Structure 1
Amino acid sequence: MDAQDSIEELIERIGEAATGEETSLREVVEALGQRSLAAYLLVPSLAVLSPLSGVPLFSTICGAAIFLISAQMLMRRDHLWLPDILMRRRLPSKRLEAAVRWMRGPARFLDRITARRIGFLVHRPFIWVTQAMCLIAGLVMPVLELVPFTSSILGGMVSMLALGMLARDGVFTILGFAAIGGLYSGLTTLLH
């Protein structure tokens, strides 16, 4: 990944959005500027892994964002659109800053280990399967908020798929699908 696409840079830009007492999703989107939709998809999926996931309804908001961003990827849009009701959502800037601090280490690590590998998995037609899986994950995330930790697990899986698309690294696509298969098997075993 080149410097402009580094995950650490994306995380730092999110931190720059936290200027007042509270920060809106609109301020975060504006701080990120014009990026690929995969970068926008990575943000809510990583956020669900952070301490912010303890905020009531935060996983639901992230799931809605993941769903909408994935839908736009499937429609091949070149810029992000989110409904005003999501863009106006605010959270305490201190929580956002804590999440950014928490995400810095993993972001640095991910920047070091990604590379352009297994390219056919991150191009059409296979990338449509990845985008559709992210869309389904975003759709199910609000329901899974009722089961402790499942939203965070799903967020981790979407993070791997988004990272695969952003870094053009098919290894992360494989890991994301393997994790989704594991979660599906675990949930079906529990429900039977």
Structure 2
Amino acid sequence: MNQPDDPASLTDLLDRLKARTEGQDHVSVGDILSAVGERSFGPLVLIAGVITLAPLIGDIPGVPTLLGLMVMLTLGQLVFQRHTVWIPAKLSRRTVTRENLVKGLDWMVKPARFLDSWTQQRLTWLVTGPGQYVMAGICMTVAAAMPVMEVIPFSANGAGLALTAFGLAIVARDGLLALLAVLATGGTAWFVLTNIPW
């Protein structure tokens, strides 16, 4: 799931996205995929979570659904043991303004530094081997629910938090963080189920 040139931390991932999209007015999903790496399943989940959490981006109608679709496609390919990530051209061309992207990434800098100082390799069996497929299944469930979360205020932020934690757990090989991500997923599911207008 990780590759040798993957970002080593959340801070590294944010810096890479800003550097590799410099000079563009709009940034597409394809640009993000290229910046992160087309073989980097973990960082792609991480960046989907970060963008969903980020102000000015994650609150745009349709963005959580778009990112949820990207996560499902990405992790579905992991489950079927593809070695590179493929996404449809129509999805790849969807864009956000780089100004909003950078503002959202800048907002994440302090939380990213805090998270990076806390993560370490532990309980690695939860995020490698068979464990990574369990985590992929949970992430896909979160992603599949993201369209519903768009109509329930603040619930997409819970999904973004869960995906960020899962992605960072994969990148840092931190199984304890993966367990916390499972708890965040459970809390988000409870919030969504109790707030759906039946």
Q: TM-score, normalised by structure 2?
A: 0.88
In 2, Cα distance between equivalents of 1:183 and 1:41? 17
Superposed CA offset, 1:104-162 (max 9, x none): 22222222111111122112322211100111111110121111111111111121112
Report the 3-state secondary structure (helix = DSSP H, G, I; strand = E; otherwise coil) of the residue aligned with 1:23: strand
Say whether 1:21 aligns with 2:25: yes
User: How far 1:189 moved relative to its partner?
Assistant: 4.2
Say whether 1:128 aligns with 2:142: no
Report the 3-state secondary structure (helix = DSSP H, G, I; strand = E; otherwise coil) of the residue aligned with 1:54: coil
What corresponds to 1:105 in structure 2?
Answer: 110
CA shift in 2, pair 1:150/1:189, >3 Å: closer
How many percent identity over aligned positions? 29
More helix by proportion, 1 or 2?
A: 1
Q: TM-score, normalised by structure 1?
A: 0.90
Residues 142 and 185, structure 2, Cα contact 8 Å, conserved in 1: no
In 2, Cα distance between equivalents of 1:32 and 1:127? 19
What corresponds to 2:158 in structure 1?
Answer: 153
Query: Among 6, 9, 26, which residue is 1:6 paired with?
Result: 9
User: How far 1:63 moved relative to its partner?
Assistant: 0.9
CA shift in 2, pair 1:118/1:95, >3 Å: same
Say what the alpha-carbon RMSD is for the aligned residues.
2.0
Question: What amino acid maps onto 1:38 in structure 2?
Answer: G
Superposed CA offset, 1:37-63 (max 9, x none): 101111111100001112121111111
Report the 3-state secondary structure (helix = DSSP H, G, I; strand = E; otherwise coil) of the residue aligned with 1:91: strand
Q: Report the more deviating stretch, 4-13 or 60-69.
A: 4-13
In 1, Cα distance between equivalents of 2:194 and 2:31? 42
Residues 18 and 96, structure 1, Cα contact 8 Å, conserved in 2: no
Residues 36 and 78, structure 1, Cα contact 8 Å, conserved in 2: no
Query: Among 159, 171, 175, which residue is 1:166 paired with?
Result: 171
In 2, Cα distance between equivalents of 1:4 and 1:48? 19
In 2, Cα distance between equivalents of 1:122 and 1:30? 24
User: How far 1:35 moved relative to its partner?
Assistant: 5.1
User: How far 1:173 moved relative to its partner?
Assistant: 0.9
In 2, Cα distance between equivalents of 1:150 and 1:188? 10
What corresponds to 1:175 in structure 2?
Answer: 180
Residues 7 and 171, structure 2, Cα contact 8 Å, conserved in 1: no
User: How far 1:87 moved relative to its partner?
Assistant: 0.9
Query: Among 47, 53, 74, which residue is 1:49 paired with?
Result: 53
Question: What amino acid maps onto 1:165 in structure 2?
Answer: I
- Report how many aligned residue pairs link the two structures: 191
Instruction: State how 1:131-146 maps to structure 2 within 5 Å.
Output: 131-146=136-151
User: How far 1:186 moved relative to its partner?
Assistant: 3.5
Q: Which stretches in structure 1 are left out of the alignment for 5+ residues?
A: none
